[in-house]
Structure 1
Amino acid sequence: MFKAIELLPKGNQPLVLLTRHSIREPADSNGFASYQLPLTSLGRDLAFEWGQWLSANTDLQIASCLSSPIPRCVDTASEMLKGAQAAIEIPLNPQQQSETSLLNINQHNLLVEPGSFVVDIAQAGPRFKQYGALKFINCFLSNQLPGMKIPVQGAQDILRLLFDHLPKQDNHLLLAVSHDTILAALFAVMAGQTTIERKDWPDMMEGAFLWFDGDSFESSRVNWIWRGQHYQFKVQNI
């Protein structure tokens, strides 16, 4: 993520940080992570420190926030916002420290499943449990799964959501917190990939920076930084 900071445009663009939630409690023995699994204390600390670092060491200011409604995503967003706020507050003494004023976290179903790519959970859910996450995403990318959106449509829906919530000022940042399967699928579609490998999977608290060149979503060019590499494509060509 530090490498990505060096590749961001300088002072002329509102940005998006689309990230996976922070470190959660372990999944079950089959590797399936219930939506009830919370962040660990380390996960909360990591989200706070990352938000604080971004605010203290870059020109970026988190100006709006989207999140999956799942608690570990909302909590990740909340801790990052607290960290960002802490970086700019310099109280003279504890008695003079005011209550932290945080942005509203807009919870959105396009950042969770069903919603992002899944249309019918009754059809898609059993196959997810049967295949596991990686095989499931690869079958989805090659249009082999019932109950799912066409991959391009799902990607465009998420990107339009981000575009519609972009901050209005340069150097302002939209924070969007989601899940590994959604980020893995979205990044693959954006890159034109029909298969991914385990090494491509987003880690907890890992994400991509995005920005849009163009006045309308349909005519825009999407730029994104993922693992230290700059990619771009036209929305209409996705």
Structure 2
Amino acid sequence: MALDLLPTSMLHAMDLLPDPKTPVTLFTRHSLREEVKGQGLAGYDLQLTHQGRELAQAWGEYLIANSERRIQHCISSPIQRCIDTAALMIQGADDVSPINTHNIEIVEQGLLVEPGSFVLDIHKAGPYFKRQGALGFINSFVNNALPGMKHPIGGVVDVLELIYNTHPRHSHGLSLAVSHDTIIAAILAIISQRNEVTSEDWPQMMEGLFVWFEGDEFLECQLKWIWRGKLHCLDIAKFNAEQ
């Protein structure tokens, strides 16, 4: 069964979702991709595996069948494995309820990939990524210790505002935001006010966080999210003022 490959945290999170009248966004890493070869960095050309494609479709079907929600919006990194993940999740959801699902547009967003989310100058930041690897690079970014990068809080606020602006506004709504491990790992560390990311913290493929917002203005709202079986809350105004 394809869902056997889904990180168990995601099924546990389903039990913590708010009432279906509260719109939710699933901010997720893409599904299973080809393995990295050579330099050890995940290039833009790596595609989903056959199992990854089956998993994304099965997860989309399960989400709709078990959450009483309908996909209303979808944003994605422009990288093909993310776009494919989004399309397959929508296809799976469509198998359950085609109402308003098969017409969902996947809107590509540069803020969901690097350079774009946090990198301002790839020529300054790029060498650090190659030397430190993904985990080391994200730890340096979280501690605001890299040239050519946004302030960590500013970068996170940019991504959260993007999600807020595409977040469903109607009850029983679900939005998808498909991105990459480095971006999700950094955001989780910063909104959790941690200055260290370990390998155990790293998002698995097809693992993500469910988020929703309480408030009519982004900079005055409360962010709530579910990650690995726990519910968290953040005051955006106080968070943004820490820059």
TM over 0.5: yes
What are the superposed Cα offsets for residues 180-233 of structure 1, whole Å, 9 maximum, x if unpaired? 000000111110011110000000000000000111001100000000000101
What's the Cα RMSD here? Answer: 1.3
Structure 2 unpaired stretches of 5+: 1-9
Once residues 18 and 11 of structure 1 are traced to their aligned partners in structure 2, the CA distance between those partners, rounded to angstroms, is: 17
Q: Is the 8 A contact 1:85 1:102 kept in 2?
A: no
User: Which residue pairs with 1:147 in the alignment?
Assistant: 148
Secondary structure, in 3 states, of the residue corresponding to 1:218? helix
What pairs up with 1:2-17 in 2 under 5 angstroms? 2-17=11-26
Secondary structure, in 3 states, of the residue corresponding to 1:143? coil
Once residues 236 and 185 of structure 1 are traced to their aligned partners in structure 2, the CA distance between those partners, rounded to angstroms, is: 19
Per the normalisation by structure 2, the TM-score is: 0.92
User: Which residue pairs with 1:216 in the alignment?
Assistant: 217
What pairs up with 1:166-185 in 2 under 5 angstroms? 166-185=167-186
User: Which residue pairs with 1:22 in the alignment?
Assistant: 31
Once residues 107 and 98 of structure 2 are traced to their aligned partners in structure 1, the CA distance between those partners, rounded to angstroms, is: 24
Once residues 103 and 213 of structure 1 are traced to their aligned partners in structure 2, the CA distance between those partners, rounded to angstroms, is: 24
Change in 2 beyond 3 A, CA 1:25/1:221: same
Once residues 192 and 162 of structure 2 are traced to their aligned partners in structure 1, the CA distance between those partners, rounded to angstroms, is: 19
Q: Is the 8 A contact 2:20 2:67 kept in 1?
A: no
Q: Which region of structure 1 is more displaced relative to structure 2, 226-235 or 163-172?
A: 163-172
Aligned residues: 229
1:102 Cα offset (Å)? 3.4
What pairs up with 1:33-182 in 2 under 5 angstroms? 33-88=42-97, 101-182=102-183
Secondary structure, in 3 states, of the residue corresponding to 2:219? coil
Secondary structure, in 3 states, of the residue corresponding to 2:51? helix
Structure 1 unpaired stretches of 5+: 91-99
1:89 Cα offset (Å)? 5.1
Q: Which has the larger radius of gyration?
A: 1
Once residues 167 and 222 of structure 1 are traced to their aligned partners in structure 2, the CA distance between those partners, rounded to angstroms, is: 14
User: Which residue pairs with 1:236 in the alignment?
Assistant: 237
1:42 Cα offset (Å)? 0.7
Per the normalisation by structure 1, the TM-score is: 0.94
1:138 Cα offset (Å)? 0.6
Q: Which region of structure 1 is more displaced relative to structure 2, 131-140 or 8-17?
A: 8-17
Q: Is the 8 A contact 1:112 1:178 kept in 2?
A: yes
Question: Identity of aligned pairs, percent?
Answer: 48
What are the superposed Cα offsets for residues 12-50 of structure 1, whole Å, 9 maximum, x if unpaired? 311110000000000124421111100011100000000
